[in-house]
Copies of this chain bind each other. A is one copy, B any other.
Amino acid sequence: MGSITTVSHEARLLCRQNRLTNTAGVAPGYLQANLLILPGEYASDFHNLCLRNPVACPLLGMSSTPGNPRTVKPAGCIDSADFDVCTDFPKYRVYKGGKYQESRTEIASLWTETHVAFLIGCSYSFEDALTAAGLPPRHQRTKSVVAMYRSNIPILPAGIFTGAHCIVSMRPYRLDQIDRVREVTRPYLSTHGEPVAWGWDGAKQLGIADITKPDFGEPQIFENDEVPVFWACGVTPQIAVEAAGENIEGLVFAHEPGHMLVTDWTAADLENLQSSSI
């Protein structure tokens, strides 16, 4: 095991040991990542899905060789020699034939040499910037998991991945704060960027009937005149896997919503990330 050198490495170790669950607010300044792992024969279609839907599925990195869960490209994503994509998320979900099977704290015993891992940008990454701008996300203050909803925004098809819709995360803000919220999150193109919709009209346009009943995470409290503000969410790949259903043979793994990987990238890497092609 390498020596612990960074706050991000330390956070990954805590996740590996299952001493952390919800990673919101963990290792401030470091980018966090969603996960999708699938058999290699579907990797090309999934890669195209990311390129065609970069707001919901911004590609941050992938396992460098099929079958190797211990290194990730591009360089810089995980600097530590002490890494395993099968253990370093706090919790995993297992899918078979497009159906959720179970949640687990590791997937090392299920990983095969055909598997390819994809790291997808996460909106937790811009929450420090929101806090620094005097706009701290409600769920961080209440120590809850961000609320996530199924929306009617279509995910544009790529190969076997057809018929999915975008998952959105929601943070309450006042109407007079929205311009600033949009500005602060706009540069984070690789971690969902600016909101996709806002306000009660926005919720209606997205087809969200009841804001008190999120599909993932926990309901959030609205104070004063706050309205919902929605960002695309990296849980979306799991919905694409559900939609692909029996077209996928073999096991698919993903992170448990809200339980992310802490990477070694920081906001300073955002511009390079956008121009890197994986």
Stretch at the interface among A17-25, A113-121, A139-147, A189-197: A189-197
Per-residue interface assignment for chain A, residues 159 to 182, with 1 indicating a CB less than 8 Å from any chain B CB and 0 otherwise? 100000000000000000000001
Judge whether B275 and A196 touch: CB under 8 Å: no
Distance in angstroms from A56 CB to nearest chain B CB is 9
Judge whether A274 and B274 touch: CB under 8 Å: no
Which chain B residues border A224 with CB–CB below 8 Å? none
CA distance A193 to B54 in the complex (A): 15
Which chain B residues border A153 with CB–CB below 8 Å? 154, 156
Judge whether A232 and B54 touch: CB under 8 Å: no
What copy number does this chain have within its complex?
A: 2
Which chain B residues border A197 with CB–CB below 8 Å? 157
Of B51, B54, B194, B275, the residue contacting A158 (CB under 8 A) is B194
CA distance A205 to B157 in the complex (A): 13
Q: Which of A43-58 contact B (CB under 8 A)?
A: 48, 51-55
Judge whether A156 and B186 touch: CB under 8 Å: no
Distance in angstroms from A52 CB to nearest chain B CB is 5
Which chain B residues border A3 with CB–CB below 8 Å? none
Judge whether B52 and A156 touch: CB under 8 Å: no
Number of A interface residues, CB 8 Å? 25
Judge whether A52 and B55 touch: CB under 8 Å: yes
Which chain B residues border A51 with CB–CB below 8 Å? 54, 189, 274
Judge whether B156 and A55 touch: CB under 8 Å: yes
Distance in angstroms from A223 CB to nearest chain B CB is 25
CA distance A48 to B157 in the complex (A): 22
A277 close to B (CB within 8 Å): yes
Distance in angstroms from A208 CB to nearest chain B CB is 14
Which chain B residues border A54 with CB–CB below 8 Å? 51-52, 54
Judge whether A232 and B156 touch: CB under 8 Å: yes
Question: Would you give 16 A-B contacts (Cβ < 8 Å), ordered by A?
Answer: A48-B186, A48-B189, A51-B189, A51-B274, A52-B54, A52-B189, A52-B193, A53-B55, A154-B196, A156-B196, A157-B194, A157-B195, A158-B193, A159-B182, A159-B194, A274-B277
